[in-house]
Amino acid sequence: MTGADPGVTKAIETFASFLLESGRELTGIPVAYRAWGRLNAAADNAVVVCHALTGNVDVDDWWAGLLGPGRALDTDRYFVVCANVLGSPYGTASPLSEDPATGRAYGADFPVATVRDSVALHRRLLERLGVRQVAFTIGGSMGGMQALEWAFEGDFVRAIVPIGVGGRHSAWCIAWSEAQRHAIYSDPAWRGGRYVPGQGPDAGLATARMMAMVSYRSYASFEARFGRSAAEGEDGPAGFAIESYLRHQGEKLVERFDANCYVRLTQKMDTHDVSRGRGGYHDVLGRIEQPALIVGIDTDVLYPLAEQRELAQRLPRAQLAVLEAEHGHDSFLIELDQLNDIVASWRRGVVDRDR
């Protein structure tokens, strides 16, 4: 399906089969994607944008400040593609998809797919679209994991931009993931993931989102925005404003997401380790040959700046840029002007120069 703008495409491609790292084979796999701009004659001007945990392919919604002519993701110069990951409810195979073997939604039977699985599947998508080489990959958080994993596709990818992430999921991050999953598991409506669609663990999913939002922001961000101010109810003050904000964030996610998908995606993130099966961690980082822009956030408590410094020190052709903002991890979705300037400047000096 093509959008009103002839340079914008939104579609789903289906693949007959796909073998996961686990050895499980999926069949009839849909992959949703959007694309902006045009593939050039050499088919080597693709830019792959990788979305975060609860994100989708609508880059023009969540990264509008980076997408478009003259911006970091210059649609006059590049063919910009964003594909939905395995396990997400936005069009690619997930717990909500129909299992061809049963004719019913996979639900809890949908397997854990790794970050590598999504990258491998997305490479097949790009090749079907005619892409011969990717100029650079870019993404934040779970998207940063994918951007980094793309480096292991060899000459197919010329450069990478991982944002707000490390080379492997830390015990700290796994702990946050498991605590959120446990909130879902503890909801009586969870039923081992075998709930009736529309009757799932809404309270558990909302609680998981509330917990996540705390990890995505910072002390300074919450203090500046909320402090100890009261929330206003119909009959006057109704608790603290921060409480109301977190409840609202939980309710919003329940309206658009699925608990089984959330569980599988957080498990996907926990698989993130670029050295798994490849050798010693530092040795593997040292074998990444592509130029890399590593972007860290100075107030990130989930993926601390020390993780990005490590990547910048260990990757042979990396440079570190620090996004200075009070909003914590989510700053890569908030401080778009600053992030656009950082990425655009690097792209012009490194990627464009190589063309």
Query: Within 13 A of 336's CA, how many CA atoms are on the CB side?
Result: 15
Catalytic one among 215, 258, 329, 330? 329
Catalytic one among 300, 327, 330, 331? 300
DSSP SS3 for 227: coil
Catalytic one among 118, 141, 215, 331? 141
d(CA 134, CA 32): 19
Token duo for residue 8: 């914008």
60 is catalytic: no
329 is catalytic: yes
Give the DSSP per-residue string, 84-133.
PPTT-SSSSSSTTSEETTTTEE-GGGSPPPPHHHHHHHHHHHHHHTT---
Report the 10 Å Cβ neighbour count for 10. 14
22 is catalytic: no
Burial of residue 152 (number of CB atoms within 10 Å: 0-12, 13-18, 19+): middle
d(CA 106, CA 94): 7
Catalytic residue list: 141, 300, 329
